[in-house]
Amino acid sequence: MTVSISFQLNGTSAQLDVADSQLLVEALRQHGSTGTHIGCDTSQCGACVIHVDGKSVKSCTMLAVQVDGKSVTTIEGLTQGQAEDMHPMQQAFKQHHGLQCGYCTPGMVMSAIDLVNHNPDPDEKQIREWLEGNICRCTGYHNIVKAVKHGAQMMREV
Amino acid sequence: MAKTGIGEAVARREDYRFLTGQGKYVDDINLFNQAHAWIVRSPFAHATINSIDKDDAAQMPGVVAIYTSEDFSGAGGVPCGWQVNNKDGSPMNEPKHPILAEGKVRHVGDPVALVIAQTRQQARNAAEAIIIDYTELAPAIDMKAALEPDSAVIHDEVGSNLCFDWELGDKAATEAAFEDAHHVTRLDLINNRLVANPMEPRAAIGDYDSSTGEYTLYTTSQNPHVIRLLMGAFVLNIPEHKLRVYAPDVGGGFGSKIYHYAEEAMMTWAAGQLKRPVKWTAERSESFMSDAHGRDHVTHVELALDENGKFLALRCNTLANMGAYLSTFAPCVPTYLHATLLAGQYTTPVIYCEIKAVFTNTVPVDAYRGAGRPEATYLIERVVDVAAREMNIDPAELRRRNFIQPDQFPYDTPVALTYDTGNYEATLDQAMEAADYSGFEARKREAAARGKLRGIGLSCYIEACGIAPSNVVGALGARAGLYEVATVRVNPTGSVTVLTGSHSHGQGHETTFAQVVSDMLGIDYDAVDIVHGDTAKVPFGMGTYGSRSIAVGGSAIYRSVEKVISKAKKIAAHLMEADVSDIEFENGEFKVAGTDKATAFGDVALTAYVPHNYPLEELEPGLEETSFYDPANFTYPAGTYICEVEIDPETGVVEVMSFHASDDFGNIINPMIVEGQVHGGLAQGIGQALLERCVYDEQGQLLTGSYMDYCMPRADDLPSFSVDTTVTACTHNPLGVKGCGEAGAIGSPPAIINAVVNALSDYNVTHIDMPATPMKVWQHLSNGRG
Amino acid sequence: MYQFAYHHPDNLNQAKELLTAEESKPIAGGMTLIPTLKQRLAAYESLVDLSSIAELQGISETSESIRIGAMTTHSDVHHSDTIKTKIPALSHLAGSIGDVQVRNRGTLGGSIANADPAADYPAAVVGLGATIHTAERDIAADNFFTALFETALKENEIITAVSFPVPEKAGYAKFANPASRYAIVGVMAVKTRSGIRVAVTGAAGSVFRVPEMEQALGDAFTADAVRGIAVSSAEFNSDMHATADYRGHLVSVMAARAVDAANA
């Protein structure tokens, strides 16, 4: 069965026709938001993390129909109106080399922003624990932790 | 102005696209009229295929085609790129690795049928409707058992499960040295099987243009040219000028994306059959049973020492798992990349090793970050540590007594390599200082007061990188030369496009290589672009693996820039009416020595393409140079890693409290990127030592087939790292660089295990196999208490 | 995934009606169900999403207990000031489930209805002696979890809420599977006005209580009281991550840590 859903996608209204059983991540990717990635099939890697109504979720473990009427932010939605065309957290990841191959990065950034929304000044332990649902194979997390710390500081200063 | 030259920590230009979701990975690409593939894979480790009934499946909605092995009868098998000979000189057993299983399946995940439909969902539905009748056979899973006469034989044409029986070193001299030894340390150890797990699963799209007869393969590869060569020449018989292989942004590789995989050939071939694009993307669970795995060695090692702790000889024998088929690099990993490193940083005068490579009913095993060198480092650095304890010599001191000294370079090891340069003691000293080695006892006491067992471990690794000098590896059995190519194209207005055969899948080449070129040419960093990954654009190159990109790919770029400067000087000399020997090039300007005459690089470039005032009779127009750089030797990064762990004696949980890495990578282009490479390697090495393992049960079912059971290191499993470098410049490449991609994964596992064993020293523990999981540590603690 | 129809009723009656259809399945947060469907390990004609039903929402407090709507997410339980004040161990337990994103979607009702032997919530429900409210009846925690992935729920019986009596003190200690982060062993140790309850998840096919530990803690509610008590691991789960023996050992260690947490 196909249904039509309406939701806010990165600040603009979107209408999509989706199958009842379609995963949100697939719908987003088919719609062109290919910054949201798929890295596993057991809901663990976090490459697909987006925000739904301001909270971070794994879009591989939600149905597209479940965002009907909701507000969705993906990595592509962070840049609008930002200095250097990037959100402070994105800038911090670049400055601290918090990414290598870039595949886990969108989910990592979305997760990190959700952390700072909850805790504006997280310490290293809190950052590491918060990111347990985001797997990175490249960086060893060292620079991600540094980036999130600095990104939090920049978000506080905005 | 921002500093962007060699040695500067330039923020990466790649990052904007990755951070804003604009990276273009294979699965992000969708072509017009694209069909979707689903691959039916064997549920059994070892079985004969009696029949495949695809009639019902063919009638399912959306099905375009279903292919089985008969459809690929015109294709070759997946080729192996390396040859290893047995002790007696006879070639290794190299059974066919078919694109789709031919009458028999040999591991769980072995592809049996290819289903193509309008949508992926439809292809998967149809795949479930294919009826395959199997007869299960006894599997051969354990390597030792697989070599027994009563074992099931995986490849009937081979007759046993032995791939090759190989040796290196002087057996007689080694045995003699052992006989005279004051002390012999013996150790059995396992280098645990791992799965590379780049976060981007493999994917491939085949496309065919019937108007030109040209095939295009979009693939998640570390070396698109090698895929074009192997697949075009050995599998599908497509001439290279009709085959384009494009590896766009690739989400990590760590070795697992070097190899030519059957899925690449399936998509390319099917696109030609169907005259439409066909796409396949692996699910993660599919990656676990189809990406080449890594490591999986079982080793017995012995070290002979004199009364002062001087190493007299080392010998070892190893069983190396090849899996069910030979993957592209597989035979060279336990041999040329492993046995040749068994001298480590030490003056051990004689070494002998035997390697038996074994087929088992498991996924093929191939190079994974470090590839052979982590296994060599692990066995050396473990046996040295055990020897230190047995002889009651401080582990750092024992290593120090045996280091190759700076004045001994170039140093010929007894296992076929010549180290060009190094200063191992300086690196050890720097690491010990940074890690506060001497303060350990106080930290141990403080931990004991908290009820924790604290241990310290170190490891002094060496690796052979910059793979590889063609004459050396050709003699060893490589079927290709491992040079690298670069074209430096100066555009008419003075900007530069660099075409490199190296491939970046996280390493940041677009930044680093631009730093090198802009620095050499004295032009703006932003005026240099790096192009890679597309065989339609780049000359025939060899790709990225074995920490080779800067040492080999960077050297090719360097040579091309030199050629550009040399030609540009001639043009400048003409423009300024001077002799070319008087032309100096500095900061992007050509000057006539001793005068104030100067002309800018951009003006020379324009002149080369608008050659009105130009020495056409002596010089061709244009300013573009290509170099194929074949290294004279491997490079030899080396370093000392020191870590401290704390063990919770109640649960056996090991926590890494600190980790310091001192590495000698030679000269460094971008220290920020180098540090990032070390961090990532350390995480994978610590993962191997404490968390990761690939486990098959006795029936050959993969027990660690998802992240539910295969333990990937997460942010809260790891500490922040401390890293620094020492420098002895490589003597035989123009940048003096050695490469840094694999070091972290090579040096860290023994450092961790040495620390764990040290922490357990009061419990009568001399060795613990990787990964040192809480349960394993608890079992050792219980036995020690007993 | 196999195809299915999706319904999202906004009241309980509508949900019950939809669930009478053949091969229908309620979906709460979907944190277990969706991965199961993705891997084609299950197929349903229809899914009935319970998450927007008002009757299943909210956290309310009486003098004796806290009532948590079945569709309350783990995050909401974790962050609830009421729960942090009255049953901090429950807040802590909810905050240890999965990862942040799982906690933002996964629900109390979904978790206990699924009755995964390695889930955290069963330890809280049994340890705290909670009452499970369904649209039809109330079920005592001790009667709720019946076997591996089995509960006392009848076909299509919907959990509406769970009431947790406020204990005198409670602590939860978990030894997580390093890969999946589910509990290899999780122990909830609780001192209530009416007695001691010790509930263990992860170790066996279903959550269970440990009478010998409860008795010992009744005499002295200290970690030392349970540390030496060895539980029989004969029926325990055994896998590559933890043998039954090791799980048995961990039950004692985690019980002691749970008591320490309760006393902290």
| Residue C207 CA: distances (Å) to CA of B609, B775, C141, C186, C231 | 79, 22, 10, 9, 14
Q: What pLDDT does B786 receive? A: 62
A158 burial class (0-12, 13-18, 19+ CB within 10 angstroms)?
A: exposed
| Residue B29 CA: distances (Å) to CA of A107, B201, B248, B717, C205 | 20, 14, 10, 34, 45
Residue B389 phi/psi, 5-degree rounding, is -70, -40
Residue B115 to residue B134: CA distance in whole angstroms: 19
Q: Is the pLDDT of residue A92 over 90?
A: yes
- Dihedral sign, Cα of residue B596, residue B600, residue B601, residue B603: negative
- Our CA-based measurement puts residue C10 at a distance from the nearest CA of chain A, in whole angstroms, of 13
- Contact across the interface for B775 and C39, Cβ inside 8 Å: no
Of A19, A44, A115, the CB nearest to C3: A19
Per residue, what are the HEC states of B214-264?
Answer: EEEEEECCCCHHHHHHHHHHHHHCCCHHHEEEECCECCCCCCCCCCCCHHH
- Which residues of B fall within a CB distance of 8 Å from C175? 651, 774
CATH number for A141: 1.10.150.120
Residue B700 in tokens: 């050959």
Which domains can be identified in chain C, with CATH numbers? 1-54 (3.30.43.10), 169-263 (3.30.390.50)
C21 CB neighbour count, 10 Å cutoff: 14
Closest CA to C23 of C9, C38, C8, C3: C3
- Contact across the interface for A20 and C180, Cβ inside 8 Å: no
A106 and A58 both lie in a single domain:
no
What is the residue whose two structure tokens read 């229809």?
C46
Closest CA to B376 of B476, B282, B260, B463: B463
Residue B380 phi/psi, 5-degree rounding, is -65, -50
How does the average pLDDT of chain C come out, rounded?
A: 96
- Contact across the interface for B712 and A105, Cβ inside 8 Å: no
Q: How many residues does chain C have?
A: 264
Q: What pLDDT does B244 receive? A: 98
A107 and A140 both lie in a single domain:
yes
Residue B723 to residue B478: CA distance in whole angstroms: 35
Q: What pLDDT does C63 receive? A: 86
Closest CA to C237 of C173, C171, C182, C190: C182
Beta strands in chain C (DSSP E): 5-7, 24-27, 46-49, 59-61, 65-69, 131-134, 138-140, 145-147, 150-151, 159-165, 169-176, 183-192, 195-201, 208-209
Residue B724 to residue B108: CA distance in whole angstroms: 43
- Which residues of C fall within a CB distance of 8 Å from A65? 6, 8
Of A94, A125, A140, the CB nearest to B721: A140
- Which residues of A fall within a CB distance of 8 Å from B20? 35, 75-76, 78-79, 85-86, 90
- For residues B212-232, average pLDDT: 97
Taking CA atoms, what residue in B is nearest to A133?
A: B714
pLDDT digits (tens, 9 = 90+) for B248-278: 999 999 999 999 999 999 999 999 999 999 9
Residue A156 phi/psi, 5-degree rounding, is -65, -30
Q: What pLDDT does B581 receive? A: 96
pTM of model > 0.95: yes
A71 and A87 both lie in a single domain:
no
- Our CA-based measurement puts residue A84 at a distance from the nearest CA of chain C, in whole angstroms, of 29
Residue B118 in tokens: 């309008």
Preferred mutation among B124, B194, B195, B199 to probe A, highest tally of A CBs within 10 A:
B199
Question: In this prediction, what percent of chain A has a pLDDT beyond 70?
Answer: 100
Residue C4 CA from chain centroid, whole number? 28
How does the average pLDDT of chain B come out, rounded?
A: 96
C125 burial class (0-12, 13-18, 19+ CB within 10 angstroms)?
A: buried
Among A50, A75, A100, which residue terminates a domain?
A: A75
Question: In this prediction, what percent of chain B has a pLDDT beyond 90?
Answer: 97
Q: What pLDDT does C134 receive? A: 96
A67 and A96 both lie in a single domain:
no
Q: What pLDDT does B659 receive? A: 98
B426 CB neighbour count, 10 Å cutoff: 17
The residues near B755 (Cβ < 8 Å, ≥ 6 apart) are B455, B456, B457, B643, B644, B645
Q: Is the pLDDT of residue B1 over 60?
A: no
Q: What pLDDT does B599 receive? A: 96
pLDDT digits (tens, 9 = 90+) for B386-416: 999 999 999 999 999 999 999 999 999 999 9
pLDDT digits (tens, 9 = 90+) for C20-66: 999 999 999 999 999 999 999 999 999 999 999 999 999 999 989 99
Among A75, A98, A116, which residue terminates a domain?
A: A75
- For residues B165-185, average pLDDT: 97
Q: Does B368 touch chain A (CB under 8 A)?
A: no
A7 and A68 both lie in a single domain:
yes
Question: In this prediction, what percent of chain C has a pLDDT beyond 90?
Answer: 97
| Residue C70 CA: distances (Å) to CA of C120, C132, C138 | 15, 9, 13
- Which residues of A fall within a CB distance of 8 Å from C105? 57-58, 61-62
Of B285, B650, B711, the CB nearest to C178: B711
- For residues B516-520, average pLDDT: 97
Of A75, A103, A139, the CB nearest to B25: A103
Q: How confident is the model at residue B233 (pLDDT cuts 50, 70, 90)?
A: very high
Of A35, A42, A144, the CB nearest to B707: A42
- Contact across the interface for C240 and B695, Cβ inside 8 Å: yes
Q: What pLDDT does A81 receive? A: 79
Preferred mutation among A3, A20, A108 to probe C, highest tally of C CBs within 10 A:
A20
Residue B418 phi/psi, 5-degree rounding, is -120, 110
Backbone dihedral region of B465: left (phi > 0), alpha (psi from -120 to 50 degrees) or beta? Answer: beta
Neighbours of chain C (3+ CB pairs under 8 A): A, B
- Which residues of B fall within a CB distance of 8 Å from C240? 695, 703-704, 709
| Residue B19 CA: distances (Å) to CA of A88, A100, A143, A153, B23 | 11, 10, 15, 18, 8
A105 and A147 both lie in a single domain:
yes
Residue C101 to residue A132: CA distance in whole angstroms: 10
DSSP code at position B571: H
Q: Does A60 touch chain C (CB under 8 A)?
A: yes
Which domains can be identified in chain B, with CATH numbers? 17-137+199-252+257-288 (3.90.1170.50), 293-468+633-785 (3.30.365.10), 483-629 (3.30.365.10)
CA dihedral B26, B27, B29, B31 (to 10 degrees): 110
Q: What pLDDT does B123 receive? A: 98
| Residue B464 CA: distances (Å) to CA of B293, B526, B630 | 21, 33, 15
Please name the amino acid found at residue C50: L
Preferred mutation among B121, B694, B709, B769 to probe C, highest tally of C CBs within 10 A:
B709
Biggest alpha carbon–alpha carbon distance for chain B: 91
Taking CA atoms, what residue in C is nearest to B707?
A: C179
Residue C203 to residue C186: CA distance in whole angstroms: 8
Closest CA to B93 of B29, B167, B156: B156
Taking CA atoms, what residue in A is nearest to B712?
A: A135
Taking CA atoms, what residue in C is nearest to B712?
A: C179
Residue C220 to residue C226: CA distance in whole angstroms: 9
Among A41, A75, A109, which residue terminates a domain?
A: A75
A140 and A97 both lie in a single domain:
yes
| Residue B682 CA: distances (Å) to CA of A140, B641, B741 | 7, 10, 11
Q: Count A/C contacts: CB-CB distance under 8 Å.
A: 76
Q: How confident is the model at residue A1 (pLDDT cuts 50, 70, 90)?
A: confident
A152 and A88 both lie in a single domain:
yes
A16 and A59 both lie in a single domain:
yes
B495 burial class (0-12, 13-18, 19+ CB within 10 angstroms)?
A: middle
The residues near C151 (Cβ < 8 Å, ≥ 6 apart) are C112, C113, C115, C144, C145
CATH number for A23: 3.10.20.30
A110 and A66 both lie in a single domain:
no
Q: Is the pLDDT of residue B319 over 80?
A: yes
Q: How many residues does chain B have?
A: 786
Task: Report the number of distinct structural domains present in chain A.
Answer: 2
A124 and A62 both lie in a single domain:
no
| Residue B364 CA: distances (Å) to CA of B97, B228, B232, B254, B376 | 10, 21, 22, 16, 20
pLDDT digits (tens, 9 = 90+) for A95-142: 999 999 999 999 999 999 999 999 999 999 999 999 999 999 999 999
The strand pair at C46-49 and C5-7 is best described as parallel
Residue B377 CA from chain centroid, whole number? 15
Q: What pLDDT does B16 receive? A: 96
Name the strands in the sheet holding B453-462, side by side, starting at the edge strand that comes first in the sequence: B453-462, B638-647, B654-664, B722-726
What is the residue whose two structure tokens read 């194979």?
A137
Residue span of the structural domain in which A50 resides? 2-75
- Contact across the interface for A34 and B28, Cβ inside 8 Å: yes
Q: Is the pLDDT of residue B124 over 70?
A: yes
A71 and A88 both lie in a single domain:
no
